[in-house]
Structure 1
Amino acid sequence: MKHSSFLRRCSDSFTDFRILLRSIPAPAVSLFILSVVCANLMANKELVSYKYLALDCGFAFSWIMFLCMDIICKRWGARASVKVSVFALLVNLAVCLSFAILSRAPGMWGEFYAAEDYAVGTEINAALNRTFGGSWYVVLGSALASFSSSVVNAFFNHLLGTVVKSGGFKSFAFRSYLSTLIAQFADNCIFALVVSKVFFGWTWTQVFVCSAVAAVFELLCEVVFSGLGWRVVCGWEKENVGAEYFDYRKKIAGTYAE
């Protein structure tokens, strides 16, 4: 009996996930996934590097991830935000695996043929292979940070939403900004602990200060575009986007309540 109940719940969860992906407009999911992949890839290049301020080029995309999570959480709830985040993470891991395999394939990058001589071209080719192939500890740190921060962001966004009852932009901004600041700090801190401290010798002070400063900069980017995110959410609510998912959630809740 317990086994049958477990299988039923698994089946319902899978159906829930399918309907959720079908309910969220494709541009939002695509932008979310693309930002995760691009942030992971561009993290290989530093943007600013000082003792207590370290930003990589993934910073240009990371705020998009959190804005997407915030608008999904506002419309579909915290659970939906985490589910889409996990899906984006799995896609990113698949992309990383594909890059790692293809970086070991024979052949030369286009930049090899633009090099001055064979030796320089070979070094360039090897460098590009290492860049796109990635390092296991960077992928691991990025995955742990991404998953943890998505849960933290969804939890605080939902919690703050229960505190602020108004449905206007100020309420959306309050819950989005504060949850993003906390989650971005968690994201940066976990990555710094797993990667920067262990493999690059960062001090504890650098881990926490750099994580906090980077979180502020990433939040400022979201603040600039939060108005656009709010208008997107308002459009979804006005057009009743996601009605199928809400109906299914009510049906499931009624079934398990019986």
Structure 2
Amino acid sequence: MAAHEERVAIVTGGSRGIGRAVAGRLARDGLRVVVGARGAADAEKAAAQIAESGGQALAVPADVTEPGAAARLFDAAEAAYGRVDVWVNNAAPATAGPLAHTTDEDFARYFTAAAYGTFTALREAARRIRDGGRIVLVSSALTVAPLPGTALLAAAKAAGDQLARTLAWELGPRAVTVNSVLPGLTRTDVLATVPPPVVEDALRRTPLGRLGEPDDIADAVGFLVSDAGRWVTAQTLHTAGGMI
């Protein structure tokens, strides 16, 4: 594997929350980071903050639910830095509602964002990531420990996990690892949409007795994309403080 200072990572949804923490962590580790986000201003702000901290970052507006978005991110990374070694797939919707009350439009929205978006991203990464590279999906603890009102998100994220496990076998001969990390409730903007009883229940069921922080997840991603993670592939790494 190339030295860290030569490696390039793309982080989707990299302007806030877990994605922002991941982008910052990888930059601190010496990777050059392409911050993908739907909002150009948010992506620029995140890239500027990384640069102010001594890292190298490029902002690229991209909505991974749109056809061709992953290819545009790879194009931008290769044009700026000449290579892509790491793909971190983080963007996804996060609202909830009872299955009986969901609509066909809700189903299409969730599966477009979390399943189709992951499919197109993994397909592009499979074609273009360098040998010895790393692919990480930020999935969800809901895929193995669902909560009421989260059926569509859990199902769509689980589809992405299965795509990743299969891709790990296909890319293994190139020494590319593919893994998912499964956060539980984490202190991001999304937490404001979670009913307090759900938060309290999650705390009771978490051995470490607190909610996750974005840096907790970013550190797990940092391990997986590092040399230390070279022998870990086709895994779903539980990063929920023991809740799962």
Larger radius of gyration between Structure 1 and Structure 2: 1
Larger fraction in strand: 2
Larger fraction in helix: 1
TM over 0.5: no
- If the length of structure 2 is used for normalisation, what is the TM-score? 0.27
Tell me which of the two structures has the higher relative contact order, counting C-alpha pairs closer than 8 angstroms and 6 or more residues apart.
Answer: 1
- If the length of structure 1 is used for normalisation, what is the TM-score? 0.26
